[in-house]
Structure 1
Amino acid sequence: MAKANKEEYKHSNSGIGGQYKTWFLDYASYVILERAVPAIEDGLKPVQRRILHAMKEMDDGRFNKVANIIGQSMQYHPHGDASIGDALVNIGQKNLLVETQGNWGDVRTGDDAAAPRYIEARLSKFALEVAFNAKTTIHQLSYDGRKNEPVTLPMKFPLLLAQGAEGIAVGLSTKILPHNFCELIEASIKCLRGKRFELLPDFLTGGIVDATNYNDGKRGGKIRVRAIVEELDKKTLVIKSVPFGVTTTTLMESIVKANDQGKIKIKKVTDHTAADVEIIIELAPGISPDITIDALYAFTDCEVSISPNACVIVDNKPQFLTVSELLQIATDNTKKLLGWELQIKLSELQEKWHYTSLEKIFFEEKIYKELEKKHETWDAVLAAIDKAFTPFKKLLKRAIIREDIVKLTEKPVRRIYRLDIDELNEQIKQLEADIKDVQYHLEHLTDFAVAYFENLLKKFGKGRERKTEIKAFDTVQAKSVAIANIKLYANYADGFIGTSLKKDEFIGEVSDLDDIIAFTKAGVMKVVRVSEKTFIGKDIIHAAVFQKNDERTTYNIIYVDGKTGISYAKRFNVTGITREKEYDLTKGSEKSKIHYFSSNPNGEAEVVKIILSPNCSAKKKELDFYFEELEIKGRGAMGNQVTKYPIKTVRFKDAGRSTLDAKKLWFDNKFGRLNTEEKGQYLGKFEAQDRIVVYYFDGNYEIIDQELTQRFEPEKIILMEKFVPEKVIATVYLDNEKLQYNVKRFKIDTTTLHSKFMFIKEGKNNVVMAVSSNEHPLLLVKTGKGQAQQQTKYKIDQLVEVMGRSAVGSKLTDFNKAVEMEWVVQQEETPQTALFD
């Protein structure tokens, strides 16, 4: 009995397991195919398709309550009113297929739409044109078998790429980003013409997108989207857009959180969003706007990373495609549907031509008189009429069937008048012209499809221009912009550093992202993370924030080798290390120790006085040592021998000088950054006190320091160079009021950093055309186009005298739309003999 029960139990478990596997697979397939993933044919999920179908059934040109639309859609979608309502609001907010009325919420702020009973919707004219055609729609039974619904809509537009799609199924997900309406149409035209095209995302929320790694929307690609953050003044920033998928509410929450964590320092953040996004950020005193903007991108939702994953249903199976493949399929599908519609139209025209021709023959050849003759049966009458048509059947394009003759007998006899016959002839003539036109389009279907897309762009493209700016931007290094708001302490004797050692010696303020480099008397170097308490080694002699790849900070040391008693000196940089690893800066012998240590931010090489032990046999007990005589080598180098005698002490004597070349700076006009990595325009060599001057197209200049965290907008800059106060600046600008180009020479008379000063006449649309600090600037002015172009060279230093920065200047030439100006590089020996050539 027990054995039987055991077997029965095993059998029942096997049955349940089998059912579970089958049911779960069925459920997974259903979620993928029927709920989460769009179809390739029309770019719609089932719920979206059913909503649009229901709206088409209800369409009478007027708005319908969303509650009524939901009710109509429930006849086709078996998942309740909430899912239908959410999907409809989502479609409406995309402002493409559905026209809305009432409060439909705001994707920028995250505000929800009003209740369905309060808001209204109807199909847009665009939707009616591209998404519906009863003659080309294949239907299937709805879930309850009572209604017919479309398998897919005959979509003649790459809707999936225009709207985007997002969904989570069982075991897979889809995320297709929205693209620009006009660019999709232009790409479809290129696709039809066999030309190359590129598609990049475009979001209704605007912002800036770096699509360098978009990888054609393929799975594994990535884009970065940024809010537009601008400096209102030195104490205030304004956010003018939100990244895709981020609301003003979540953005502000992320800013407050970053402030609470000490990543940024702000006084207040306020949302003034109305028609446009406007979030005002008031900065804490002494905080740099440039660094704060970078910190907002690094630590808040002002920058988000999005990974596309274009999964669609193709032949009842999920497939992962690229954006180009999706557009190619959508374009081919549109062309196919257009061809299908033309074929249907051709058949209808041919059928109409056939019947109109029959009608004409019927009355013109008096075949209708067969109706007046006495025939035994109705079939005999129809047979007689058919026989009467025999001589004319060769004129027709298909055989005459019984239905044709029956239909003719129902026509009124008044058609026998000549006026009616002439009207039939006109109809036939027009039908033949229409047939010829449709046949031409079928033979040139690609051209017809191109014209169709061009018409879509003309009718619906206005107001759908790109909203998201495409711009490559650099990756913000979180370490470089993190606010130093944590106090770091050190117990030098016991060898501990950390944020919790508040009773010990204060080192400085750091951020929680910083690394700390520390050195001990025994010659050990170690780099550690900021933490509450970390052991470095007894007798710490130096601790500071570590900057990776820093080739300018130079460490000078004198140490004694414990094994031989010989003292060595060396200079080295620390550019890269393994965190938490101990590095020995001596020869590694026991009892080795450092006599002298210094950290020099710009490669300074000091002079020190070495005092030897009074008991040693050396004749000279004091000597000066010059670190500038040593080369900078690796940290593992042994160094140069200083003395074989025991040293009592080493004292600092003189600061000396830097042995490094002046710092070389470049301006990266792609990202708008100063750098030392040789990216962009070379600005020159800079000592610590040197400055940079920036000239802007709007007629302002600005003197700045060498801080690498500064941000610039390259498109607004006409010239950036090393600032030399003695130089005379030559400039040509457009005086828009007088419609003339003025020229002037001046010296910069200000020294204030990070403040803009006007150097041309103030006025609306006045703009700088050229700026030069050359001693003898020679300007080439080209006017006109093609063979009619004229060129004139102006020797500016001989044309105008040096004047004040605020002077208007002298007239150079009249305004000309077709003008180009450029400075000519001169040979030094070229004599300046004339005002102009």
Structure 2
Amino acid sequence: MSEEINNEEVEDVVPQEPEHHEENGRVRSIQHLSGMFEKWFLDYASYVILERAVPYVNDGLKPVQRRILHAMREMDDGRYNKVANIVGSTMSYHPHGDASIKDALVQLGQKNLLVDCQGNWGNILTGDDAAAGRYIEARLSKFALEVAFNPKTTNWKLSYDGRKREPVTLPIKFPLLLAQGVEGIAVGLASKILPHNFNELLDACVAYLCGEEFVLYPDFPTGGMVDVSKYNDGLRGGSVKIRARIEKDAGNKLLRITEIPFGRTTTALIDSILKANEKGKIKIKKIDDNTAANVEILVHLAAGVSSDKTIDALYACTDCELSISPNSCVIENDKPVFMPVSDILRKSVDDTVALLLLELKIKLGELETDWQYSSLEKIFIEERIYKDKEFEESGSVEEVVVHVRKRLEPFIAHLIRPVTDDDIKQLLEIKMKRILKFNSEQAENYIKGLEDEIARVKHDIEHIIPYSIEYYKRIKAKYGKGRERLTEIRNFENIEATKVVVANEKLYINREEGFVGTALKKDEFICECSDIDDVIIFRKDGTYYVTKVADKLFVGKDVLHVNVFKKNDKRTIYNVAYRDGKYGPSYVKRFCVTGITRDKQYNLTKGAAGSRVLYFSANPNGEAEVIKVCLKPKPGMKKLVSEYDFAALAIKGRDSQGNLLSKNDIHKISLVQKGASTLGGRKIWLDEDVLRLNTDSRGRYVGEFQGDDRILVANKNGTYNTSDYDLSNHYEEGYLVFEKFDSEKVWSAVFFDAEQQYYYLKRFRFEDTVRITSFIGENEGSYLVCLSGEKRPRFEIVFGGRYENRPAETIVADEFIAEKSYKARGKRLTTYEVKEIQEIEPLDGGEEEKPEEGGTDVDFEITNPDMLSDESQMKLDFE
């Protein structure tokens, strides 16, 4: 429901009447200042709301905008006018300074809808100001002339000095308020309506008239991307997130910003990036602004910096991402009203339909008047009434009118309305020249054309909704080209700044004195962090808390574990054994800490005095180890040592008690065996800019890993190795294959053997090995040509040298050679000189390669061609 601010609610602030006192025979009037201020402030607030800051829902304009457009319409002769002249003309309607009028005109011109501009009108991308009013020119656009003006349907009022008339509101037949958007701050009230797409607004108008549902979302002239999931139809409480468009270029060492968020200029955006760089949140080498007609900001990355992570950091820490809160406040019936965007459009369509109907009725009246006069004129001339003796001998106009009315009586029944004295007097003004040139047939055709036009207008009046629909479609076809949506609608993921900012600090701990911080350079190193990170601190008494990273922070001498805290991290699992109280039983528990209040103390034990942590481990992927528990000996106790596997323990909340480990006193707990993750697969990505693994969806997806899964890295130089999926791993450039290792997968490799000076093909399976191993042999000069993981790969051999006219040969790998060890040399492909070998489209699993027609049939079978000597292989080469 719409919310209104009612002026009746402020009746209690009306000032008191002046008090009158008689003093020495004179009456003196006393006015209380408080009452005067209340009255003046109320008048001022009402004026600012109604006359300056908030647009009217009828035409979507503020008073200054409406007066500018009205002044331009009065000056319009099809040519450009100096802006200084337009400002001067507007001042006869707008009682304010010329600077405010010019600024409002420039803003109208920059919206590229109602005003046709010429000259330097500034740049909304860079924030450059427009030239002085004496240098730039403007005129109304064709669109404005068609949809915004009609003196016959305009309500008028006197200007502020009473010398001229100005429109109360313009009869605009288009949802201008939603197309242009508006922003204004009044007294205790603000309005912020975001711009929408021209064509989408017209489509929504048609949908509303057709009784269909419609949804409207903002579209900004600066482009970019927008998340409208919380738009709330433009009402208070809603918000939209807008982002710059950032592209990777030049081998991921350069970021190119091509579109910026609405409301920001390139200068402001660059300033925010430089500030983030100075604070160490991102690392860039330099930044260039090449913006002209289009945005082009070049962000050069420093060496070893991830482009994907930097893009996320730009969104999280700079003005590359902004949140805008709309506030759809408009003036309706001289009161401010909070109205949703969809209702504003419906109101605009209803008003447009009413205006179109009024225009049709006015046109119908004009056509009928024209038809009436033309018919009377035809009768008057054809019946030669002007030749009547009574007409010529009449002594006064009144006698002539009486005579003409009498002569027209036989024809009155065929007219649209009764004949008036004004009709007859208009006939008397016909000049003899027109009578002499009168053509009855032409007059009849003209009247017939008027009748057709009247019938068409009456049809449109009776079918005003279809007529209005066609009107909107015509406007879209005429002016919609080139006004396609600029802002892409997307759903943004929430980027946590702590995950994407550069780790520009190192965290240290001084256990002897009990300090943690980034300034303790000579003490024990913990991990890398950023200056906006949180750290989690566990103590031996079972208490823990989260606090901000600091230069030097006292945490106590009984610190058990310190690390960077990741909010909502469900994969970091803490495995704990603790004693309840000083002499109580011992428990084990597994838990995660996803979110807690900063600087608030928590306890992983039951909180009894004397409780102690006996064993603690932090596992980044939910690993569950096996521990050995040694009990303190006491009489009658037979088993003093046992093992416990944390994998048998369920992960519960951090406040859970845990499972009983032992009721007896525990002497020592030690690690027996490291365990695997109990959380299932972990999705891993490779950030190819910095060649490191991550779980934040940056870069290329590698696969889902768990347990002892491995990663296969095959390099372009013919070597390979496998690795685990620890996030601290660093890889080198030059890899050809980077994927989850599958020991059953058969690979096909074509390589040149430097020792034999021939090309070979081999099929094999990679073995799990950490050591970098060659799979093409150790001969210096050998090199890899192709490596394929397809089931049935094919390779095409193009011959060169004196054999360049020899047709290219296609080899199907699994038909050419059987699978062998990766250490085997393989089988020679050909003895002819080779120009090029390349992999082509593989065969499907069950597809058989058909021999070419006319080919030679071989009536023998070689069961193991790899056993043939080089000479025997040469003999099998058929021309």
State the TM-score, normalized to the length of structure 1: 0.78
| Conserved? CA contact 2:587–2:657, under 8 Å | no
User: After the TM superposition, which residues 492-531 of structure 1 pair with which residues of structure 2 at under 5 Å, given as runs?
Assistant: 492-502=511-521, 504-531=523-550
- Equivalent residue, structure 1, for 2:387: 369
Equivalent position to 2:265, from 229, 237, 247: 247
Most deviating of 17-26 and 502-511: 502-511
Q: Deviations over 1:394-431 (max 9, x none)?
A: 22222222222222222233555586222211211111
Q: Greater CA deviation, 266-275 or 453-462?
A: 266-275
Shift of 1:505: 3.4
Amino acid at match of 1:136: T
CA displacement 1:528-574 (0-9 Å, x = unmatched): 22234444333223211122343333334455566338666555443
What is the Cα deviation at residue 224 of structure 1?
A: 0.8
Deviates more, 1:383-392 or 1:681-690: 681-690
Q: Which amino acid aligns with 2:537?
A: A
Q: CA contact under 8 A between 2:232 and 2:239: conserved in structure 1? A: yes
Q: Is the 8 A contact 2:677 2:707 kept in 1?
A: no
Q: 1:315 aligns with which of 320, 333, 343?
A: 333
Matched to 1:396, the amino acid is L
Larger mean CA deviation between 162-171 and 18-27 belongs to 18-27
Q: Is the 8 A contact 1:370 1:381 kept in 2?
A: no
Match status 1:324 vs 2:356: no
Change (3 A) 1:728 1:393: farther
**Alpha carbons of structure 1 residues 261 and 643: separation in structure 2 relative to 1, 3 Å:** same
Separation (CA, whole Å) in 1 of partners of 2:491 and 2:789: 31
How many Å separate the matches in 2 of 1:46 and 1:144? 15
2:839 is paired with a residue whose SS is coil
Q: Is the 8 A contact 1:571 1:632 kept in 2?
A: yes
Matches within 5 A, 1:458-497: 458-497=477-516
Q: Kindly state the Cα deviation for residue 523 of structure 1 after the two structures are TM-superposed.
A: 3.6
Give the aligned partner of residue 389 of structure 1: 408
Aligned to 2:649: 631
2:208 is equivalent to residue 188 of structure 1: no
Decide whether aligned partners of structure 1 residues 398 and 543 sit closer, same or farther in structure 2, where only a CA change above 3 A counts.
Answer: same
Pairing partner for 2:173 from 156, 161, 168: 156
Note closer, same or farther for the CA distance 1:632–1:147 as it changes in structure 2 (3 Å cut): same
The residue type paired with residue 43 of structure 1 is G
CA-CA distance at 1:63 after TM superposition: 0.8
The answer to whether structure 1 residue 339 and structure 2 residue 357 are counterparts is yes
Residues 17 and 573 of structure 1: CA distance in aligned 2, closer, same or farther (over 3 Å): closer
1:282 match: 300
Q: How far 1:507 moved relative to its partner?
A: 2.7
For the 8 Å contact 2:255–2:307, the answer to whether it is kept is yes
Would the aligned equivalents of 1:558 and 1:569 in 2 still touch at CA under 8 Å? yes
Identify the range of structure 1 (796-805 vs 115-124) with the bigger mean alpha-carbon deviation.
Answer: 796-805
Alignment CA distance shift 1:58-1:581 (3 Å)? closer
Output the CA distance in 1 between the equivalents of 2:217 and 2:265: 22
Q: Label 1:721 to 1:367 Cα distance change in 2 as closer, same or farther (>3 A).
A: farther
Q: How far apart in 2 are the matches of 1:616 and 1:5?
A: 108
Cα distance in 2, alignment partners of residues 704 and 466 from structure 1: 47
1:209 and 1:729 map into 2 onto residues whose CA distance is 45
Q: What whole-Å deviation, never above 9, does each CA across 1:610-663 have from its counterpart, x for those lacking one?
A: 6777x977999995745446525545435544684562x5555x5432151442
Partner of 1:820: none
- Partner residue of 2:674? 656
Q: CA deviation at 1:265?
A: 1.9
Distance in 2 of aligned mates of 1:356 and 1:674: 86
Q: Which has the larger radius of gyration?
A: 2
Is the aligned partner of 1:55 residue 2:59?
no
| CA pair 464-773 structure 1, distance change in 2 beyond 3 A | farther
One of 403, 415, 418 as aligned partner of 2:422: 403
The answer to whether the 8 A contact 1:496-1:535 is kept is yes
Counterpart residue number, 2:163: 146
Query: Shift in Å at residue 103 of structure 1?
Result: 0.8
CA distance in 1: counterparts of 2:406 and 2:398, whole angstroms = 12
CA–CA separation in structure 1 for the residues paired with 2:289 and 2:148: 39
Match of 1:30 in 2: 47
Could you tell me how far apart the structure 2 residues matched to 1:137 and 1:174 are? 26
Q: Is 2:509–2:517's contact at 8 Å kept on the other side of the alignment?
A: yes
Q: Name the counterpart of 1:207.
A: 224
Q: Which residue of 1 aligns with 2:274?
A: 256
- Provide the C-alpha distance between the structure 2 equivalents of 1:747 and 1:203, rounded to a whole number of angstroms: 57
One-letter code of the match for 1:148? Answer: R
Instruction: Determine if contact 1:616/1:646 at 8 Å carries over to the other structure.
Output: no
Distance 1:335 1:218 in 2: 25
Alpha-carbon shift at residue 334 of structure 1 (Å): 1.1
Is the contact between residue 61 and residue 122 of structure 1 (CA under 8 Å) also seen in structure 2?
yes
Structure 1, unaligned runs of 5 or more:
668-672, 694-702, 709-719, 731-745, 752-771, 778-795, 813-830
Match of 1:601 in 2: 620
| 1:441-468 Cα deviation digits (max 9, x unpaired) | 1111111111111111111111011111
Residue matched to 1:302:
320
Query: Structure 2 CA distance, aligned partners of 1:239 and 1:130?
Result: 37
Q: Answer whether contact 1:611 1:621 (CA < 8 A) is retained.
A: no
Q: Secondary structure at the match of 1:339?
A: helix
Q: Between the two proteins, what is the percent identity of the paired residues?
A: 51
2: distance between equivalents of 1:729 and 1:334?
A: 70
Q: Quick one: distance in 1 between partners of 2:223 and 2:747?
A: 39
Tell me by how many angstroms 1:801 deviates: 12
Q: Quick one: distance in 1 between partners of 2:401 and 2:436?
A: 23
Give me the whole-angstrom Cα distance separating, in 1, the residues matched to 2:149 and 2:486: 28
- Written as runs of structure 1 = structure 2, the 5 A alignment for 1:686-765 is 686-687=706-707, 690=710, 724=742, 727=745
1:32/1:801 Cα in 2 relative to 1: closer, same or farther (>3 Å)? farther
Equivalent position of 2:242 in the other structure: 225
Equivalent residues, number: 728
Distance change (3 Å), C-alpha of 1:724 and 1:274 = farther
2: distance between equivalents of 1:724 and 1:541?
40
CA 1:306–1:799 in 2, change beyond 3 Å: closer, same or farther? farther
- State the distance in 2 between where 1:729 and 1:136 align: 80
Code of the residue aligned with 2:498 in structure 1: it is: K
* 1:359 counterpart = 2:359: no
- Of 461, 473, 489, which residue of structure 2 is paired with 1:454? 473
Label 1:618 to 1:117 Cα distance change in 2 as closer, same or farther (>3 A): farther
1:657 aligned counterpart, secondary structure: coil
How far apart, CA to CA, are the structure 2 residues paired with 1:48 and 1:27? Answer: 20
Residue aligned with 2:493, SS: coil
CA contact (8 A) 2:677 2:706 kept: no
Q: 3-state SS of the aligned residue for 1:373? A: helix
CA contact (8 A) 2:224 2:244 kept: yes
Aligned to 1:808: 840
1:146 corresponds to which letter in structure 2? R
Worse-matched range after superposition: 172-181 or 486-495: 486-495
Shift of the alpha carbon at 1:48?
A: 0.5
Q: TM-score, normalised by structure 2?
A: 0.75
Do the aligned residues in 1 keep the contact of 2:45 with 2:187 (CA within 8 Å)?
yes
- Residue 443 of structure 1 is matched in structure 2 by 462
Offset from partner CA, 1:448-490 (integer Å, 9 cap, x none): 1111111111111110111111111111122222322233332
Residue equivalent to 1:45? 62
CA RMSD between the two structures: 4.1
Q: 1:572 to 1:451 in 2, by over 3 A?
A: closer
Counterpart residue identity of residue 360, structure 1: K
Offset at residue 209 of structure 1 (A): 0.8
Task: Report whether the alignment pairs 1:432 with 2:464.
Answer: no
8 Å CA contact 2:709, 2:724 repeated in 1: no
